């Protein structure tokens, strides 16, 4: 496969050299020639086949490649016309942090409103680990909004409702 690719590359180089030599022999500047169209190939160009390939298949592929390089108008006409899809509304799929924390804020306020204060361990005693963490964040949000006051007492946190 490598030997064949190298041979084809050398053949293309030789043909381009002959085309340039013919142009020089005609004593016409290359800029005026229309039969020599030198365009850069988008490198790296690589074609890997998933099935056994014959020499005729490779030559046909190379011929199609050279033809598409020589006739860029045909290549432009063959491009796919893809219509843009409507952008989905991601708000349907996202749950806002405020709505999640808001539910836990209500839970905390409800549990401490009778006495005016409460301990974090008592509030989260019947919750799992994830809900306990969410409750802790809700406590921080409530303290930030100055609705409660928090104070650490040994290994627990005392939450006092601010009126």
Cβ-based neighbours of 158, under 8 Å, separated by 6 or more: 117, 118, 119, 120, 150, 151, 152
Cα–Cα distance for residue pair 56/59, rounded to 1 Å: 5
- Classify domain 94-161 at the CATH topology level: Arc Repressor Mutant, subunit A (1.10.10)
Q: Mean pLDDT over all residues of the chain?
A: 78
In the predicted model, is pLDDT for residue 113 greater than 80? yes
- pLDDT value at position 101? 86
In the predicted model, is pLDDT for residue 31 greater than 80? no
Higher pLDDT pick, 66 / 8: 8
Give the chain as a DSSP string. -HHHHHHHHHHHHHHHHHHHHHHHHTT--GGG-SS-------SPP----SS---HHHHHHHHHHHHHHHH-HHHHHHTS---PPPPPP-GGGTPPPHHHHHHHHHHHHHHHHTTTSEEEHHHHTTTS-HHHHHHHHHHHHHHHHTTSEEEEEETTEEEEEE--
- Segment 134-151 shows an average pLDDT of 90
- Segment 94-122 shows an average pLDDT of 86
In the predicted model, is pLDDT for residue 145 greater than 70? yes
- pLDDT value at position 85? 67
Q: Which part of the chain has CATH 1.10.10.580?
A: 94-161
Higher pLDDT pick, 46 / 157: 157
- pLDDT value at position 158? 92
In the predicted model, is pLDDT for residue 163 greater than 80? no
- pLDDT value at position 20? 77
Higher pLDDT pick, 143 / 46: 143
Higher pLDDT pick, 18 / 135: 135
Higher pLDDT pick, 150 / 57: 150
């Amino acid at each position: 496969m490598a030997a064949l690719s190298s041979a084809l590359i050398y053949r293309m180089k030789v043909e381009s050299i002959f085309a340039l030599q013919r142009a020089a022999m005609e004593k016409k500047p290359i800029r005026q020639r229309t039969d020599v169209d030198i365009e850069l190939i988008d490198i790296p160009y690589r074609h890997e086949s998933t099935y056994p390939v014959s020499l005729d298949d490779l030559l046909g592929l190379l011929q199609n490649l050279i033809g598409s390089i020589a006739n860029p108008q045909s290549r432009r006409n063959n491009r796919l016309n893809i219509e843009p899809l409507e952008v989905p509304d991601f708000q349907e799929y996202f749950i806002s942090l405020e709505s999640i924390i808001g539910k836990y804020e209500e839970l905390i306020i409800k549990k401490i409103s009778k006495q005016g204060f409460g301990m974090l361990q008592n509030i989260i005693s019947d919750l799992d680990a994830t809900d306990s963490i969410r409750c802790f964040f809700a406590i921080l949000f409530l303290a930030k909004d100055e609705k409660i006051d928090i104070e650490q007492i040994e290994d627990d946190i005392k939450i006092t409702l601010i009126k």
